[in-house]
Amino acid sequence: MKTSKFRLCILYIGLAVLLLFGSISPATATINATHDVNLEEIQNLLYQYFQLRYEARKKNVIPDLSQFVAVNSERANKFLSTETNKLRLEALHVDKNDLEYLDYKFTIDIQSVDVKSQDRTVTVIVLENHEVVFKKTPHIVSKMNNLIHQIVLSPDGQFWKIIDDIYDDYLWRAIRQTSIEFIESQLNTPQSIPFASYPAIQQNKVGSGGYNRSNAVQFARTWYNSTYPGFYRFSADCTNFVSQAINIGGSIPQTATAPGVNVGWYYVNSSQYANAWTFTPAFYDFVVNGHWWVNGPEGVVTVIQQLLPGDVILYDIRTGSETYDHAVIVVEMTDLGNQELFPLVAGHSPDVNNYPFNAYNYSRTYPIQIIGY
């Protein structure tokens, strides 16, 4: 087995396409006596694969990935079928939410190339990053970083072809938690929880301690694509990141540590923390219902239009299950015209900044206004 680390950058602006190659090793890794791994061939394949996906999103059409996928491979056939169905759902969501790309720039960081001689495959670990302009927010550049792809290739005739692309964006997580059929049914009626359905909301309620919203936003913008020193980055890191922004940036103090993880809101290290710090359902319960604590964030469920920078949005892909699957922090309420204010968010898993909040709105949103502690 041989591994290689190199960087492939693809830049697209308007109609101009520019390939930028960094430090690339010219070496090849041998699978057998007759078939070598040509890194340049793999780079070109991955460029064309991602380029097609981005162009399709710009036009909001379902890309035909078959030209890049191996034939006569059960694994490849399964990948092509499931990925096409996923992209079909994505196109439906894009159409309903004005999330087509008006312009885009993306880079691919190839972290490693792992050659397995025994099954004649190559596994490439790729970090996808982009800056895009959405149709919904044409005056905003939205960023996404560090989306990991595990792309498996196999020789197909004279060329390398893809047999799998494993990645964990929000839609794929939602599909794995439910099903493609369920997500498709929800896309017909995405909506926020009605304000009137929360009679216990006290619109004039104010926490006993202040919340530094601007500093919380600054923290989120600074650390959206990296890890704050002293904190562990979990595989699902969205709520951990939101808690850090509220605590470190927003100056809302943690509760005292407790003997059980089901109480309080605190972080000590990667093995000692409260559930409310890292798990989205527990975060909701603490912030909205746990107001007897001296410290920790206090909030109320509101409506999207009443959010402020520094507030939080939770998502519930299962529709009313109150399991809450994802959390982001609002970094801007941007003006779309016609007196419509629209939240832009930052978050981890995936790492985003200035992203339209409805990029994750496959079911219901729970806007939470942080009112202090």
One pLDDT digit (tens) per residue for the chain, 373 residues: 434 333 444 443 332 333 333 222 333 333 333 346 788 899 999 999 999 999 999 999 999 999 999 998 999 999 999 999 999 999 999 999 999 999 999 999 999 999 998 888 999 999 999 999 999 999 999 999 999 999 999 999 889 999 999 999 988 888 888 888 888 888 876 454 443 333 333 444 445 568 999 999 999 999 999 999 999 999 999 999 999 999 999 999 999 887 666 789 999 999 999 999 999 999 999 999 876 777 999 999 999 989 999 999 999 876 555 678 899 999 999 999 877 899 999 999 999 999 999 998 877 889 999 999 9
Contact between 357 and 330 under an 8 Å Cβ cutoff? The reply is yes
Each domain of the chain, given as residue ranges in start order, spans 8-167, 193-372
Helix %, strand %, coil % for the chain, to 5?
Answer: 30, 30, 40
| DSSP E strand boundaries for 223-340 | 267-269, 272-273, 298-301, 312-316, 326-335
Largest Cα separation within the chain, whole Å, is: 75
Helix axes 39-59, 74-97, angle to 10 degrees: 30
| pTM (predicted TM-score) | 0.85
Looking up tokens 């299962």 gives 318
Contact between 114 and 123 under an 8 Å Cβ cutoff? The reply is yes
Q: Which CATH architecture has domain 8-167?
A: Roll (3.10)
